[in-house]
């Protein structure tokens, strides 16, 4: 099993070199439309193609989560959504962001926590062994995701996050994958959580689910 673990460790370490960091969040990959990449520059992934996200900074993420978890969970639309798009929140804004309750959460996502800053949503699953995160479809603007590096003596990455804006007219589906037994052996990439977000014209508030 050692060669297999070494391969997984190399994969987790190697993805950091091909991903760009999103403002305000260390180690985040920005999702976008495919484009030609300059030599040495990261290339954005197309929707629907599973991809690993860059390992983030676990200490920063843990401190931000601990501070936000101090408050009670609020409804997703407890505060009005801004009429105009705003910039991606900074690390300081995420640290102060309140926890929010999604429209629906399934058993697979019971350990995940959601936070909202203005119209931006951050969904963190700290205890899930995450192998890859993929934008299956929908708007790519502002979407970012990342995977925490291995910790506690494990050779597998544990913990991952997804961030995206929630704006009227939005529709998107994001899939978080884990490892499990399958055709590729015990480390086959398997679906773990599907995040769906949409805000249709005429709806008073958006719908965000994780299951």
| 70 — pLDDT class (breaks 50, 70, 90) | low
Whether the pLDDT of residue 116 is over 70: the answer is: yes
Whether the pLDDT of residue 16 is over 80: the answer is: no
The H-or-E segment that residue 113 falls in is strand 113-117
Check: CB of residue 170 under 8 Å from CB of residue 198.
yes
The reported pLDDT for the residue numbered 207 is 97
**pTM attached to this predicted model:** 0.69
| Residue 91 phi, psi (nearest 5) | -60, -35
CA–CA dist 118, 126 (Å, integer): 23
- At CA 149, angle to CA 165 and CA 3, rounded to 5? 135
Check: CB of residue 179 under 8 Å from CB of residue 150.
no
CA–CA dist 194, 175 (Å, integer): 5
The reported pLDDT for the residue numbered 150 is 86
pLDDT in tens, 33-55: 433 333 333 334 444 444 445 44
């Amino acid at each position: 099993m050692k060669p297999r673990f070494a391969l997984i460790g190399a994969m987790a370490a190697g993805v950091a070199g091909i991903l760009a960091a999103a403002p305000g969040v260390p180690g985040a990959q920005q999702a976008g439309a495919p484009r030609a990449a300059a030599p040495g520059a990261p290339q954005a992934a197309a929707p629907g193609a599973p991809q690993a996200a860059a390992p983030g900074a676990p200490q920063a993420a843990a401190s931000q989560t601990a501070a936000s978890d101090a408050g009670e969970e609020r409804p997703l639309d407890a505060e009005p959504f801004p009429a105009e798009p705003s910039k991606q929140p900074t690390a300081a804004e995420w640290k102060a962001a309140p926890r929010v309750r999604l429209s629906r959460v399934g058993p697979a996502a019971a350990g995940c926590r959601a936070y909202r800053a203005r119209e931006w949503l951050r969904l963190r699953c700290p205890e899930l062994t995450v192998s890859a995160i993929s934008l299956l479809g929908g708007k790519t603007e502002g979407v970012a995701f990342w995977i925490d590096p291995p910790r506690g003596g494990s050779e597998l990455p544990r913990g991952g996050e997804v961030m995206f804006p929630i704006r009227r007219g939005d529709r998107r589906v994001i899939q978080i994958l884990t490892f499990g037994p399958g055709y590729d052996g015990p480390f086959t990439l398997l679906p773990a959580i599907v995040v769906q977000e949409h805000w249709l014209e005429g709806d008073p508030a958006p719908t965000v689910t994780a299951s």
